[in-house]
Amino acid sequence: MDIRRLKSFIVIVDTGSITRAADVLHIAQPALSQQLAALEDHFRQKLLIRSQQGVSMTEAGKAVYRHAQIILRQMEQAQADVKAAGSTLVGRVSVGLVPFSSAATLSVDLLTETRKRHPGILLHLTESVGQTYSQMIMNGRLEMALIHGTGPIKGVRFEPVFVEEFHLVAHRDLGIEPGDAPLPVSALNDLPLLLPPPYNFVRRAIDLAFTRGRLSLNVVAEVEIVRTLGRAVSRGVGATIMPRAIAERIVAESSEPIVSRVVTPRIEETLSLCVSDQSELSEPALAVRSILMELTARLKG
């Protein structure tokens, strides 16, 4: 099989259109359509469904897309291994770091340590709220990710790293005083809160704690941007409940009197390393994983 057909197939799927894919690949649309037809003929399956809105994958197409990602990554790694045989680690490694977690505080340190120890590794970091990291790992778009939860999810393997404890973060003007004693969740019943949307793992943990306490959340805004959330808390727009590392970042980056208090009953969520259970990590990916585990161990400590 011509590997260029697999590359073209991936671009068609990612762009959602044969026309846009032809522009990206700088080839004529009829030639690209012929590549797709040859690929479908090879597998004897229809891989894409065309419509006025673009293209969508069939079940067979999803399988080809997943394997194509893995094959192309292995080809890239084979070329890098041959080029760097007997010398330093070389290759591209993709890592997802879930927002609203301790993982999101590790990006710069991970980049710095990887560049210092393995300058031949091209590190690709993703921190997105709009994509499901476990699905991206199954599709071969990511090699590993730090995410909330412990699974199980078919196609990926979870390795729990540590449990994140959540803290309330609020401006003093909202009536929250500093203190070491845990703050009862019942004291937050009427507090205006800025939280991620309900589908977010952090929000689910918070919703569960309030439901168990038969309390209502007073959510005044749903915010998916950590920096915006921190600024809004600093201005007293509302309070938030976040994993400790994010709470500490909000306090550190604010010049306002911001209070961070642990709550009771404890609100917490498990942070796990997620990898594929269908393919082994490359040598460069194993090196990055080792650095990532070192950094998370520091947070845990």
Q: Is residue 146 in some structural domain?
A: yes
User: In terms of domains, do 188 and 252 share one?
Assistant: yes
CA distance 238 to 220: 8
DSSP code at position 141: S
CA distance 249 to 246: 5
Pairing of strands 144-148, 268-276: antiparallel
User: In terms of domains, do 147 and 282 share one?
Assistant: yes
CA distance 20 to 12: 8
Q: Is residue 238 in some structural domain?
A: yes
User: In terms of domains, do 177 and 258 share one?
Assistant: yes
User: In terms of domains, do 244 and 176 share one?
Assistant: yes
Q: Is residue 285 in some structural domain?
A: yes
User: In terms of domains, do 118 and 133 share one?
Assistant: yes
CB-CB contact of 162 with 281 (8 Å): no
Q: Is residue 76 in some structural domain?
A: no
User: In terms of domains, do 144 and 166 share one?
Assistant: no
User: In terms of domains, do 235 and 100 share one?
Assistant: no
What is the number of domains present in the chain?
3
pLDDT tens digits, the chain, 301 residues: what are they? 678 889 999 999 999 989 899 999 989 988 899 999 989 999 999 999 988 888 999 999 999 998 888 888 888 878 777 776 656 788 899 999 988 888 888 999 999 999 999 998 999 998 876 568 888 898 888 999 998 888 888 889 999 998 999 999 999 999 888 888 898 888 888 899 999 998 888 899 999 989 988 888 999 999 988 899 999 999 999 999 999 889 999 999 998 999 999 998 899 899 999 999 888 898 899 999 999 999 988 877 6
Reading the block at residue 248, the tokens are 């500490």
Q: Which residues of 79-155 form beta strands (DSSP E)?
A: 91-97, 121-126, 144-148
Q: CATH number of the domain that 155 lies in?
A: 3.40.190.10
Q: CATH number of the domain that 61 lies in?
A: 1.10.10.10
The number of angstroms, rounded, from the C-alpha of 15 to the middle of its chain's C-alpha atoms is 21
The whole domain housing 125 covers 87-161+270-299
CB-CB contact of 244 with 269 (8 Å): no
